[in-house]
Structure 1
Amino acid sequence: MTGRLQEQTGALVAANEQLDTRRAFIEAVLSSVTAGVIALDESGRILLVNRSAQNLLKPEGEEIEGHSLEDVTSELAEFMSGEARDANVVVAAAEGGQRTLAVKRVRYADGSVLTFDDITDQLSDQRRAAWSDIARRIAHEIKNPLTPIQLAAERLQRRYGNEVQSDRDTFERLTGTIVRQVGDLRRMVDEFSNFARMPKPVFRHENVHEIARAALFLHEVAHPGIGFSIEPPSGKIAMVCDRRQLSQALTNVVKNAVEAIEARRNRGETNFEGDRVDLKVRRENDQVIIDVTDTGVGLPQERERLTEPYMTTRVRGTGLGLAIVKKIVEEHLGEIAFLDRNGGGTHVRIAFDADRLESLAEEVPGEPSTPLADDGEYDEEGPL
Structure 2
Amino acid sequence: MAFGLLAALSTAGLGLLLRESRIIEETTRFQREVRSACTRVADEVKRQAESDRRLIASSCAKGDLVDRVLVSIEAGQLDERRLALATGVPTLREAFGLDGLVLVTGGGEVLGADPKPLLNIPADEVRLLVAGAPGNFLRGTRTMTGLVARCRKDEGRRTVALVGVRDATALLGRLGATAGVDIVPHQGAIYLSSRQEERARCAITDPSGASLELSVTKSKSALVETLERTDRTVLYASLASAGAALLLGILLARSLSRPLSALAEQAGKVAEGDAKPLELRGSREVRDVADAFNRMLRDLEGTRRRLAAASRIAAWREVARRVAHEVKNPLAPIRAAVETLRRLRARNDPRFDEYFDEATRTVLDEVHRISNIVTEFTKFARLPAPKVREENLLELCERVVGLQRAVAGETRIEIRAEAGLPRVVCDADQIVQVLTNLVQNAVEAVRGLRTPKVFVDVELEGDTRVAISVRDTGPGVAVELTPRLFEPYATTKVQGTGLGLAIAQRIAVEHGGELAYVGEPGSGATFRLILPVRGPESPRHDGGDAPSEAPLS
Normalising by structure 1, we get a TM-score of: 0.49
Compare the two structures and name the one with the higher strand fraction. 1
Bigger relative contact order (CA 8 A; separation at least 6) = 1
Greater share of residues in helix: 2
Larger Rg: 2
TM-score norm. by structure 2 comes to 0.35
